[in-house]
Structure 1
Amino acid sequence: MIEAVGLTKRYGAKTAVYNLSFQVRPGTVTGFLGPNGSGKSTTMRMILGLDRPTAGHVTIGGHPFRELPNAPRQVGALLDAKAVHGGRSARNHLLSLAQLSGIPASRVDEVLGVVGLQDVAKRRSSGFSLGMGQRLGIAAALLGDPQVLLFDEPVNGLDPEGILWVRNLMKMLASEGRTVFVSSHLMSEMALTAEHLIVIGRGQLLSDMSVRDFIAANSAGFARVRTPQTEPQQREKLTTVLTEAGGRVMSEPDGALRVTGLALPQISDLAHEADVRLWELAPHQASLEEAYMQMTQAAVDYRSTDDQLAGFQQGPQGALPGQLPPGSAPGAPGVPQGPPQLGWYAPPPPQPGQPHPGVRGSVPAPPAPVPADQNPYAQQAPEAAPAAPPAPAPAGPAGPGLTKNDDSTPGSDTPEDAR
Structure 2
Amino acid sequence: MIEAVGLTKRYGERTAVDQLSFTVRPGQVTGFLGPNGAGKSTTMRMILGLDTPTGGRVTIDGKPFRQLDNPMREVGALLDAKAIHGGRSAHHHLLCLAQTNNLPKRRVDEVLDLVGLAEVARKRAKGFSLGMGQRLGIAAALLGDPKILMFDEPVNGLDPEGILWIRNLMKSLAAEGRTVFVSSHLMSEMENTADHLLVIGRGRMIADCTVQEFIDQNSELAVRVRTPDPTRMAELVTGAGGRAVTDGEGALLVSELTMDRIGDLAFDNGVRLHELSLLQASLEQAFMELTRDTVEYHAAVPGGREVSS
Give the TM-score, by structure 2 length: 0.96
8 Å Cα contact 2:295-2:308 kept in structure 1: no
3-state DSSP of counterpart to 2:30: strand
CA gap of 1:403–1:285, structure 2 versus 1, over 3 A, is closer
Q: What is the aligned partner in structure 2 of residue 130 from structure 1?
A: 130
Q: What is the aligned partner in structure 2 of residue 15 from structure 1?
A: 15
Shift of 1:116: 0.4
Whole-angstrom distance in 1 between the partners of 2:240 and 2:204: 42
The CA RMSD measured in Å over matched residues stands at 1.7
Whole-angstrom distance in 2 between the partners of 1:276 and 1:238: 7
CA gap of 1:73–1:82, structure 2 versus 1, over 3 A, is same
The correspondence for 1:250, drawn from 242, 245, 251, is 245
Shift of 1:276: 2.9
Is 1:300 matched up with 2:300?
Answer: no
Q: What is the aligned partner in structure 2 of residue 413 from structure 1?
A: none
Is 1:72 matched up with 2:72?
Answer: yes
Q: What is the aligned partner in structure 2 of residue 26 from structure 1?
A: 26
8 Å Cα contact 1:17-1:39 kept in structure 2: yes
Q: Which amino acid aligns with 1:187?
A: M
Q: Which amino acid aligns with 1:295?
A: L
- Aligned counterparts, 1:99-248, within 5 A: 99-228=99-228, 234-248=229-243
8 Å Cα contact 2:230-2:251 kept in structure 1: no
Stretches of structure 1 lacking an aligned partner (at least 5 in a row):
229-233, 311-401, 405-419
- CA displacement 1:356-410 (0-9 Å, x = unmatched): xxxxxxxxxxxxxxxxxxxxxxxxxxxxxxxxxxxxxxxxxxxxxx899xxxxxx
Whole-angstrom distance in 2 between the partners of 1:305 and 1:204: 26
Stretches of structure 2 lacking an aligned partner (at least 5 in a row):
none
- CA displacement 1:72-102 (0-9 Å, x = unmatched): 1111000000000000000000000000001
Shift of 1:254: 2.9
Whole-angstrom distance in 2 between the partners of 1:74 and 1:269: 58
8 Å Cα contact 2:188-2:283 kept in structure 1: yes
The correspondence for 1:265, drawn from 260, 263, 266, is 260
8 Å Cα contact 1:81-1:136 kept in structure 2: yes
Whole-angstrom distance in 2 between the partners of 1:218 and 1:168: 27
Shift of 1:280: 1.5
- CA displacement 1:282-307 (0-9 Å, x = unmatched): 01121111111111111111112348
Whole-angstrom distance in 1 between the partners of 2:80 and 2:109: 22
Q: Which amino acid aligns with 1:48?
A: L
Give the TM-score, by structure 1 length: 0.71
Is 1:283 matched up with 2:255?
Answer: no
Further displaced range: 279-288 or 101-110: 279-288
Decide which structure has greater helix share.
Answer: 2
8 Å Cα contact 1:248-1:260 kept in structure 2: yes
Decide which structure has greater strand share.
Answer: 2
Shift of 1:266: 2.5
CA gap of 1:277–1:188, structure 2 versus 1, over 3 A, is same
8 Å Cα contact 1:238-1:274 kept in structure 2: no
Q: What is the aligned partner in structure 2 of residue 57 from structure 1?
A: 57
Q: Which amino acid aligns with 1:289?
A: E
- For the pair shown, which has the larger CA radius of gyration, 1 or 2? 1
Whole-angstrom distance in 1 between the partners of 2:304 and 2:238: 28
- Misfit runs of 4+, over 3 Å: 272-275, 306-310
Shift of 1:215: 1.2
Shift of 1:308: 7.3
Whole-angstrom distance in 2 between the partners of 1:177 and 1:301: 36
Whole-angstrom distance in 1 between the partners of 2:308 and 2:172: 42
Residue identity over aligned pairs, in percent, reads: 64
Q: What is the aligned partner in structure 2 of residue 6 from structure 1?
A: 6
